[in-house]
Amino acid sequence: MRPKNCKAGSDCAIKVTLLRSLAATLIATAMAILAYEVYGKFHPGLFYQVSVTLLIAMIVAPIFLYPSIRSAKQLADANEIIAKQASTDYMTHLPNLKALSEKLDEVIADTYANGQFAVHFLDINRFKQVNDTLGHDVGNQLITSVGTRIKNWVGEDGYVARFGGDEFVVIQMNVSDEQGAATFGRDLRVHLAHRYELLEHHINVTTSVGTALYPIHGRTKQTLLKAADLALYKAKERTNANCVFDPSYSNEASNRARIENTLRTCVRSGELQPYFQSIVDAQDPLKILGFEALARIELPNGELLSPDDFIPIAENTGLIVDIGAHMLREACFACAEWHPNLFVSVNVSPVQLIRSDFITTVQNALIDSGLPAYRLELEMTETALIDEIELVRQSLQRIRAMGVQISLDDFGSGYCGLHYLRQIEVDKIKIDKSIIDEAEDFAIARNILNGLGLLAQQMDLTLVAEGVDDIRKADHLARGGKVQQLQGYLFSTPVNRQIAKQMQEALPQNSYRDNVVPLPIKAN
């Protein structure tokens, strides 16, 4: 019999085996002595035989036992390695989720009576972009480097585990108050916000941290991690920040669930509608060239839900596929009512782009509305293009071949606009509001704008400035001569379909005369 918790191959099992063989030898010796006492005096030959047999058995036994002891030892070592591996993240060599879960049980048990500790949930901002544009090797190296930096920073007394992907969890012991935890989170972020030299790439990385305290924000590991995760979500909203959990965040999470329900109903009931914002000629801002369709949900109480509130939820739940198809259709039908020189521009999400039925959705919207393909533009963001770049590239190529224009949205707000331009053929670049806002006062933004102007000229692209909300910016852009089209509150806020129709009807007919409507591209 082995003790209950003495596993096969473990050190204790080896000891049991050796003790057993020792006991067997002792019993055999005792029996030999007994045999000698009883029979040896009468049968000396028999005693001699028993003694020799025993001697041989004692010499031979270890030789036979050795391999099994050695393999038992190897098994024991392997078991130890497997146990360690089961608790260690293979890439960073930090404790993994399983180990974190056990550690939290342990820390909660130790802190149960009094004291508090903090759980910090950390992730790397825009990690996906780094991973997708510079490759998985660089992405993996970045995760490992961030993990090592956290480990070195928290030291021997601290605890850090890789939660999964680019997420880490740090446990901070003996926290005096929320302020202490917040300072820890902030200092950790500052420490990590340095340049990383990875496989010949220099990357500046920022992180976000969400913090929850035991016991005030949660008494179990699940509630604590959930609270820290909600705080991280909040930190991300604030962009590159750290944030301590507040009970109102749980309400926000249920708000998101409410919006999700509202969304489902709205898609079915048609309360989701495109609004339209005019895009005008930079040299003659009274001349409307087209409209961008922007999604709005009209609630029964007249309130309008903004896309920033529901598009991310729609993307996460997959509802964006229905929303996107509805927007595309409605926008095409609206545009078909306008002057034939005007275009409509529709935002598409990465989730739509990688679907095999996306091309058919576009074709059906065009055929059903009767809108010529060259009057439709599809806008996608840099982030949209990173995911599944090859799939997206092929899909866009076929759509372009139909004559639909492709526009790169929010250009300059992400990391890798130029990287995409090398891979995806586009017709238009929409320069992000942040660059437009700074162009007047900051030389860097001005230089970017000038550089883009040259690039657009060489690549035969149209440049659009977004978010133009004051006359000085419009004037400055028009005088620069690099940007052909302007869009912003200065000219019009997004308006409903009826008003958009009236806006374009109110234009003097001759203002359409030389609108530059792109010629259809011949299919390959």
Chain positions contacting ligand C2E, by CB under 6 A: 277, 294-295, 306-308, 311, 324, 327, 347-349, 409-410, 467-469, 488-489, 494
Measured from the Cβ of residue 484, the count of other Cβ atoms closer than 10 Å reads 19
Whether the CA torsion 302, 303, 304, 310 is positive or negative: it is negative
Token pair 């995806």 in the structure block, residue: 424
- Which of the listed partners (ligand C2E, Ca ion, none) does 350 bind, with a CB threshold of 5 to 8 Å by partner kind? none
Burial of 422 (0-12, 13-18, 19+ CB in 10 A): exposed
- The sheet that has 159-164: what strands, in order across it? 159-164, 167-172, 117-124, 207-214, 242-244
Q: What angle do CA 323, 267, 386 make, to 5 degrees?
A: 20
User: Does residue number 377 form part of the binding site for Ca ion (CB under 5 A)?
Assistant: no
> Which C-beta is closer to ligand C2E: that of 139 or that of 412?
412
Q: Are strands 284-298 and 343-347 parallel, antiparallel or unpaired?
A: parallel
Measured from the Cβ of residue 254, the count of other Cβ atoms closer than 10 Å reads 9
- Which of the listed partners (Ca ion, ligand C2E, none) does 463 bind, with a CB threshold of 5 to 8 Å by partner kind? none
Least distance from Ca ion to the Cβ atom of residue 318, Å: 21
Token pair 């000038």 in the structure block, residue: 450
**Position among 379, 400, 408, 414 found at the interface with Ca ion (CB under 5 A):** 379
- Which of the listed partners (Ca ion, ligand C2E, none) does 349 bind, with a CB threshold of 5 to 8 Å by partner kind? ligand C2E
Residue by residue, DSSP assigns 88-108 as B-TTT-SB-HHHHHHHHHHHH
> Which C-beta is closer to Ca ion: that of 123 or that of 379?
379
Measured from the Cβ of residue 22, the count of other Cβ atoms closer than 10 Å reads 10
User: Does residue number 409 form part of the binding site for Ca ion (CB under 5 A)?
Assistant: yes
Give the pair of three-digit tokens for residue 182. 């917040």
* CA gap 23, 352 in Å, rounded: 74
> Which C-beta is closer to Ca ion: that of 132 or that of 410?
410
- Which of the listed partners (Ca ion, ligand C2E, none) does 467 bind, with a CB threshold of 5 to 8 Å by partner kind? ligand C2E
> Which C-beta is closer to Ca ion: that of 166 or that of 292?
292
Least distance from ligand C2E to the Cβ atom of residue 524, Å: 27
Residue closest to 327 by CA, chosen among 266, 381, 280: 266
User: Does residue number 347 form part of the binding site for Ca ion (CB under 5 A)?
Assistant: yes
> Which C-beta is closer to ligand C2E: that of 220 or that of 493?
493
> Which C-beta is closer to ligand C2E: that of 377 or that of 409?
409
- Which of the listed partners (ligand C2E, Ca ion, none) does 469 bind, with a CB threshold of 5 to 8 Å by partner kind? ligand C2E
SS3 412: coil
Least distance from ligand C2E to the Cβ atom of residue 343, Å: 15
Q: What angle do CA 165, 151, 175 make, to 5 degrees?
A: 100
- Which of the listed partners (ligand C2E, Ca ion, none) does 488 bind, with a CB threshold of 5 to 8 Å by partner kind? ligand C2E
Least distance from ligand C2E to the Cβ atom of residue 121, Å: 27
Least distance from ligand C2E to the Cβ atom of residue 490, Å: 6
Range in contact with Ca ion (rule: CB under 5 A) among 114-122, 141-149, 318-326, 408-416: 408-416
> Which C-beta is closer to ligand C2E: that of 307 or that of 480?
307
Site for Ca ion in 462-491 (CB under 5 A): 466
Least distance from ligand C2E to the Cβ atom of residue 487, Å: 6
> Which C-beta is closer to Ca ion: that of 262 or that of 347?
347
Least distance from ligand C2E to the Cβ atom of residue 314, Å: 8
Least distance from Ca ion to the Cβ atom of residue 524, Å: 27
Give the pair of three-digit tokens for residue 433. 């509001």
Least distance from ligand C2E to the Cβ atom of residue 380, Å: 8
Q: What angle do CA 73, 77, 79 make, to 5 degrees?
A: 110
**Who's near 188: CB < 8 A, 6+ residues apart?**
120, 122, 150, 153, 170, 207, 209, 242
**Who's near 220: CB < 8 A, 6+ residues apart?**
108
Q: Contacts from 314-319 at CB under 8 Å and sequence distance 24+?
A: 314/263, 314/349, 315/349, 315/350, 315/351, 317/260, 317/263, 318/351, 319/260, 319/263, 319/264, 319/267
Least distance from ligand C2E to the Cβ atom of residue 227, Å: 29
Count residues contacting Ca ion (CB under 5 A)? 5
Name residue 202's beta-bridge partners.
Answer: 197
Q: Which residues bind Ca ion (CB under 5 A)?
A: 347, 379, 409-410, 466
